[in-house]
Amino acid sequence: MPALGARPPRPSSGRRGRLRIYLAAAPGAGKTYAMLNEGHRRKSRGTDVVIGYVETHGRPRTAEQIGDLEIIPRKKSAYRGLTLEEMDLEAVLARRPQVVLVDELAHTNVPGSRHEKRYQDVLELLEAGIDVVTTLNIQHLESLNDIVANITGVRVRETLPDWILDQADEVELIDISPHALRQRMKHGNIYPRERIDAALNNFFREGNLTALRELALRRTAEKTEAQLQQYMASHRINKLWPACERVLVGFDHRPHSRQVIRDAWRLAHSLQAQLIAVSVEPTGFASVTARLVRLLKYGRRLRAEEEAARRRLEAHALLAEDLGAEVLHVRSPDIAQALATIARERRVTLIVLGLPTRHRWEELLRGSLVNRLLRLSNDIDIHLVPRRPESEAEDSSSSHT
């Protein structure tokens, strides 16, 4: 078995099991209940299903949901004077069911177990061709460990690498509003009575739950996005599928970019769309012609203007970040091609640019960005932002910096 955290090699032959993860923002959302319900659904279709490990946490409704599902007895291990129970991996492998239900994917096994972490047990089951249905709370993802600690004030000790979630065949979000989850807690449906007040005043504060819910929603959306991209690539689908709105705004060092970024944000906000801000640094011949244009325009003031342009570009990127945009800086000999490529890769539905105000000699040297972009992205809408008086005032004042 690979070292802790390492990706296992894909089996060279034979069927690999499929992994389904029920993901939630916090304990008590209903992951285990959903996992057991899925087990009953598959069993009713004639599938051989067993429970490898389930943790009911003393919740009567969860325990009742086990019903007539076959349970593989747990393996008992002595540790520091205690008798601890873990999933009996060897027994599950010997039983060879079609599907095994394994609760709490991020769990750390008792020292001396076959693997240090339960997710490693699950990987071995998958390599043996057994399908696994499991559960996970968002705070257990390694990449979110610091974020969760900052939100909740609690450092989660049991984590697993993000690629486990990335490689899952199915991820289903078990979503519940923070208010409803707190009500479950108050009614004693999550923790014992003696733990309720402390939980409500700490980890289960409404603000914490709202932030954790947003993390879970985003992570699930990213997984869905990746699966859609993989499907489109495997089926050689090049046409844009606008499953959701995404706005790309191109910006550079020119003062007009501030207005363009603000207009793009307003459009994205009205469409409830993600905003991606992209600056392209020209390379090769494009870099030479860009510098020649600046030399013709500024002459001996070129060095000072280039420093001012660098500061403006940084300020524009910061503005985009402050507005919540994802900011990308790329280098390319072809600005239009770079923007079109990013737009297609990110399945952008609208591109926002500043209306060009080039002199004729600039067009001859550099060509028309808008015309090339129109040809390269003919199924993506392009919105051009004209220069308004306030933008011209900014341009005039900044040209003297």
Report pLDDT digits (tens) over 122-154. 999 999 999 999 999 999 999 998 999 999 998
Would you say residue 356 has pLDDT above 90?
A: no
Residue 260 CB contacts under 8 Å (≥ 6 apart), including other chains: 249, 250, 251, 352, 353, 354, 385
Would you say residue 237 has pLDDT above 90?
A: no
**Cα separation, 296 vs 310, whole angstroms:** 19
**CA terminus-to-terminus distance, the chain:** 62
Report pLDDT digits (tens) over 155-192. 999 999 999 998 999 999 999 999 999 999 999 889 88
Written as one letter, the residue type at 137 is: N
Would you say residue 245 has pLDDT above 70?
A: yes
**Cα separation, 395 vs 178, whole angstroms:** 47
pLDDT the model gives residue 232? 61
| Confidence at 28, pLDDT banded by 50, 70, 90 | very high
**What's the average model confidence in pLDDT over 107-121?**
95
CB count in 10 Å sphere of residue 262: 16
Q: What percent of the chain has pLDDT over 90?
A: 58
User: Which range (71-80, 250-259, 290-299, 372-381) has the least confidence?
Assistant: 290-299
Radius of gyration of the chain (CA): 27
**Cα separation, 147 vs 140, whole angstroms:** 11
Q: Report the helix count and the strand count for the chain, using DSSP H and E.
A: 16, 13
Q: In what order do the strands lie in the sheet with 246-250?
A: 326-332, 274-282, 246-250, 350-354, 381-385
Contact, 276 vs 342, CB < 8 A?
Answer: yes
pLDDT the model gives residue 290? 61
Would you say residue 72 has pLDDT above 70?
A: yes
Domains of the chain listed by start with CATH number: 19-234 (3.40.50.300), 246-398 (3.40.50.620)
pLDDT the model gives residue 45? 96
Mean model confidence pLDDT for the chain: 85
